[in-house]
A and B are shown apart, each in its own frame.
Chain A
Amino acid sequence: MDDQPLCHHEFPILGSAYFLGGRASTSVKRVLSEFGVDGETIQRVSVACYEAEMNVVLHAVSGYIALDLFADRVEVSVKDRGPGIDDIELAMTPGWSSATEEARALGFGAGMGLPNIKGQADEMEIESPPGEGVRMKLVFRRGDQGDE
């Protein structure tokens, strides 16, 4: 993978700003649309980014989404400054959530976020070294590759 990305963008995410949630992911979607990425890929990236973004909003102090678009794939990194995840395997369990009551009342915290991200992405790596927040790397192979 020594190829160069067609573009690189970073979008900040502010923790606890529920009502700004989705701004970063919407920006990602806009960039992919501008570059003519196929709709199905955009949809998968958008959904995964939103779930990752809301995890940062709900649990961390701040973070960002980094987007790298390649001819054949989309790479997304999400990093945050926050408490991290003690037990990633548990957090990946559908239905498990540590969201607050306030967040749940808004329709978040159903414990579907991480499983949904995994379902949308072709590759997902997640790690949470103690004291360093959460780092997630996602790869989506483009449905339109070869049509360039």
Chain B
Amino acid sequence: MSEHSTPTVAQVAEELGLKVCAGGHKLDSKVEGALVSDLLSFVMANGKRGQLWVTIQTHSNIVAVAVLGGLAGIIIASGFHPDEDTTGRAEEEDIPILTCDAPAYEVAGMLYELGVR
């Protein structure tokens, strides 16, 4: 993938081998950047529209944060899994939730390598 291309959520999921837990029909949006945080207020204050959010929080409020912050989706790292409430709400609100075993640090590195800046 070229340095300056902007991958879609689907491309990120495929390249990083992420499992799609919710919002599988909303993977076509462009990933305009990413941020890593487990503090919801930090994400609200610093998240930008179109970003992917890497976290280990799994409760349903992460969906509200993603919706209200206009984020492209959520990657739950380190092998954590979203609660059922969370996936249900994500489906309702069209927010992709992706999971992986890699820790947030590695996910961030892979996203960067992939051209997500």
**Known A47-B44, A110-B39, A112-B45; contact A18-B67, beta-carbon cutoff 8 A:** no
Closest residue of A by beta carbon distance from B61: A21
> Residue-by-residue, is B43-87 near A (CB-CB < 8 Å gives 1, otherwise 0)?
011000100000101011101110111100000000000000100
Q: Which of A29, A107, A111 is the one whose CB lies under 8 Å from B40?
A: A107
Whether the pair A51, B44 counts as a contact (CB closer than 8 A) is yes
A89 to chain B, nearest CB (A): 19
Interface size class of B (residues with CB under 8 A): 20 to 34
Distance between Cα atoms of A50 and B49 in the complex (Å): 16
B64: contacting residue among A25, A112, A119, CB under 8 A: A25
User: Quick one: closest B residue to A22, CB to CB?
Assistant: B64
Dominant SS among interface residues on chain B: helix
Query: Are A18 and B68 CB-contacts (below 8 A) given A107-B39, A108-B41?
Result: no
Whether the Cβ atoms of A110 and B65 lie closer than 8 Å is no
Known contacts A26-B93, A116-B44; is A50 also within 8 Å of B68 by CB? yes
- Please report which residues of chain A, range 1-54, place their CB below 8 angstroms from some CB of chain B when the two chains form the complex: 18-19, 21-23, 25-26, 29, 39, 43, 46-47, 49-51, 54
Render A43-68 as a binary contact track against B, CB cut-off 8 A, 1 for contact. 10011011100100000000000000
Known: A39-B49, A113-B41, A116-B44. A47 touches B69 (CB 8 A): yes
The minimal Cβ–Cβ distance linking B45 to chain A, given in whole angstroms, is: 4
A50 to chain B: closest residue by CB: B68
Residues on the B chain within 8 Å of A116, using CB: 41, 44-45
Q: Output the least CB separation between A131 and chain B (Å).
A: 28
Q: A110 contacts which chain B residues (CB < 8 A)?
A: 39-42
Please name 17 further chain A to chain B contacts, defined as beta carbons within 8 Å, in addition to the given A39-B70, A51-B44, A110-B42, sorted by A numbering.
A18-B61, A21-B61, A22-B64, A22-B68, A26-B64, A26-B93, A29-B68, A47-B68, A51-B41, A54-B40, A54-B61, A106-B57, A107-B39, A107-B40, A107-B57, A110-B39, A112-B41
